[in-house]
Amino acid sequence: MTSMTAPKAAAPTEEQVTPGRPRSVLARRLIPYGYLSPTVLLIAVLMVVPIIMVISYSFRDNVIVQENSVFAGFANYTKVLSDPDFLAALKNTAIFISVSAVAHLVLGLAFALMLNTQLLSGVTKAIFRIVYILPWLFTIAVIAVIWRLLLDPSGVVNYVLHTLGLIEESVNWLGDPGKALWAVTFVNVWSGYPFFMISLLAALQGIPNDLYEAAAVDGTNWFQRFLHVTLPQLRPVIISMAVLDLIWTSQQFALIWMTTGGGPLNTTEMLSTYTYKQAFSEYEFATASAAAVIVLLLTMVLAFFYVRQQRER
Amino acid sequence: MAVRATRLKRVIGAVTAAAMVAFVAACGSGDAVDTASDGSVTLEFAQWWGAELPAGEFDKIINDFTAQNPNIKIKLLSAPYASTKQQLITGAASKTLPDVVGLDGAWVNDFAKQGAIADLSTLMADANFDASQLASQVQVKGKTYMIPVVNFVYPLFVNKDLLTKAGVAEVPTTRTQFLDAAKKISATGGDAKGWALPLDTAVPNGVQNDVMSWLWASGGSMLADGKPNLTSAQVKSTVEYVKSLNDAGVIAPGSLTMKEQDKVEKFTNGQVGMMIDSLAHINLIKKNKPDLKFEVAALPAEDGYTGKRGIPYASWGIGVSNSTKHKAEAFKFVSYLLGQETNAKLSTIANGFPGNKNAQPDFSNSDPLFKTAFDIYQQGYPANEFVGLPKSEDLMRSFDEQLQLVLTGKTSVDEALAKSQESWSSVIE
């Protein structure tokens, strides 16, 4: 048996580099940074600088609307954290995001399971898929307008409930301090579940059928297969989606602003609307910045869990 | 080697170019060249007016100006009202305000304090402009910062069909008559209620247009010597009256989160018999419900009041950026818009009332309701005490929140007014 060996190629020297490569070591080292520099510059200008400016504003007083700002230390933070409106907004936001995330998950999973079932025909599933995804196709402004009309005291929702005999008098869904938070949470759930549904459906379709067959051989019923096969397989997606949803929902502004404006009586005030009012109504950009930094820190806690979960995957 | 060097140069060149583009984009165009080589000047004019006028009408007025002043070009920056406000706030903060700006009286104090808008008193003097022809000026500490170009009043709108159905022969002129009419309309059954009160806190101008208007209609004031005077008998009487309307169940439900557009929609659909609203909505209502029979009237006053009635108004105001290099040219444009002929033309197409008191709007092609409203306006006086106050939207919001507590029975009128007084006093120094 004979073998042919190729002549050993000489290692390129500084003078004998591969065509197309610069000869200088320094230049070669700089090239990756050169490619990266536009992105780095954009991130710096569009993200790092504004964040640093906001943090800087939060430690000063009379910012933006006054020519000479002064250093105020933690005074803005103290002011914000001792403001009952901020604490109410914090509580409302916690309720709003946690209920929304749980409902998004439950509804999204339920509809995803329905669309993944073998019991329905392809055409039926396609129709359901279109219907279920509809809320996600509307912009938030349209959603706010539609639901303001539907939830009006003389709107369709009250009409239907009254016709069915479920209510005696019209309910003031968005204008009643006791109901407004739940009404906007419901609207947010309605508008957000399709994203969960689509993501979970994709994850469901990626679960190997072998696992279900093996479980069936072991004599498990549908619920046991769901509990011991489906859920563990979906777990990484569920955790990622839930954490992302908590972050996104905590920043929901347009829906609240366009439906209740934070009212009535601050019962739907969120951290986002509180910050906006501080800045653009009271022109207190320093306290608005402090509130924004607090929101940033809270969100970073969630982001930390998200990144850790992604690393584990 | 030459190829390698060329490629390296290209990479570095591309990176540098991208970095420069990003840097320039990030820095904005605040120092953009606005004087052409032929010496002509381009002025940026940010406003929300163009979007509210019939298509092309505002452009004609601008074109007339540029035809008369070939060395000045006008670049219109048109956006909706809310966007204009936010853009101006951020522009004022970054010292990049357009040369000429459309202003609402509620913003003026804050912009003036910030040094973002120019003192027009000086510009008027420099240009030998006759200020006596102006219907009004918005001042801060004795200096004019905004001139109202067109005014829009807020009279009482009455659904004649609902009034007739309720058995009310005359449009109410006093508070007692209004309450009585509202009760009768609410008693007609169905969804109809006597009055709509928008108290949404996102845009709390319902406090100005729908609540304080009752005070001004009876010659009252929420200020005394420029300071808050919310615990006065007149303000208390106003809030108690609004509460009495609420207690009588004549206010359309959902008022705590109702917006101005909801109010107009409910009136248009015949769900409320009466509302206080801008004249600017007459055409909208006629377009959406051509068969709706309604008329406009002066706001009801306290029983026995015989003095002149204040009528709330909103303005398309105008100001000049303090950072513009072309203040003289900017004021030339301002004085053109306020000139007798142009101002009459502009107020006619806007269906508003002129900022130049010598200008006569032409109502010959307008709905007769505009003429009626003009007569009401001339019999009374324009009243809007929020104009020129600092943080006026915030003042409205804090009052709004206290009023909501009153209407939901969570606090008394006295306590709400005392808290509002305290809150306002911390803002109005």
Q: From CA B269, how far away is CA B160, in angstroms rounded?
A: 13
What does the pLDDT look like over B4-21, one tens digit per residue? 545 544 544 444 444 444
List of domains in chain B: 41-153+313-383 (3.40.190.10), 156-297+390-426 (3.40.190.10)
Q: From CA B102, how far away is CA B57, in angstroms rounded?
A: 17
pLDDT band at B2 (very low <50, low <70, confident <90, very high): very low
- pLDDT at position B14: 47
What does the pLDDT look like over B79-89, one tens digit per residue? 888 788 888 88
Contact residues, chain A, for B199 at CB < 8 Å:
263-264
What does the pLDDT look like over A265-309, one tens digit per residue? 999 999 999 999 998 888 888 999 999 999 999 999 988 888 887
- Region of B143 (left: φ > 0; alpha: ψ -120 to 50; beta: rest) is beta
Closest residue by Cα to residue B272 from B295, B288, B253: B253
Query: Which residue of B186, B251, B256 is the best one to mutate when testing the A interface, meaning the one whose CB has the most A CBs within 10 A?
Result: B256
CATH number for the domain running over A77-143+179-312 = 1.10.3720.10
Tell me, yes or no, if A45 comes closer than 8 A to chain B by beta carbon.
yes
What does the pLDDT look like over B388-413, one tens digit per residue? 898 899 999 999 999 999 999 999 99
Residues A104-113 have a mean pLDDT of 95
- pLDDT at position B263: 94
- Backbone φ and ψ for A183, nearest 5 degrees, come out as -65, -45
Tokens 């809150």, residue located: B423
Q: From CA B234, how far away is CA B247, in angstroms rounded?
A: 20
- pLDDT at position B34: 60
pLDDT of B295 above 60: yes
Angle between the N-to-C axes of helices B57-68 and B340-350, in degrees from 0 to 180, rounded to the nearest 10: 170
pLDDT band at B216 (very low <50, low <70, confident <90, very high): very high
pLDDT band at A117 (very low <50, low <70, confident <90, very high): confident
pLDDT of B77 above 60: yes
- Please state, rounded to an integer, the average pLDDT across all residues of chain B: 88
SS3 per residue for B294-346: EEEECCCECCCCCCCCEECEEEEEEEEECCCCCHHHHHHHHHHHCCHHHHHHH
- Backbone φ and ψ for B411, nearest 5 degrees, come out as -155, 165
What does the pLDDT look like over B320-348, one tens digit per residue? 999 999 999 999 999 999 999 999 999 99
Contact residues, chain A, for B394 at CB < 8 Å:
277, 281-283
Q: What ipTM, to 2 d.p.?
A: 0.78
- The closest CB to that of A282, out of B191, B252, B394, belongs to B394
Q: Do A45 and B26 touch (CB under 8 A)?
A: yes
In chain A, CATH 1.10.3720.10 sits at 77-143+179-312
pLDDT of B93 above 90: no
Contacting A residues, span 139-168, partner chain B, CB-CB under 8 Å = 148, 152-154
Contact residues, chain A, for B85 at CB < 8 Å:
280
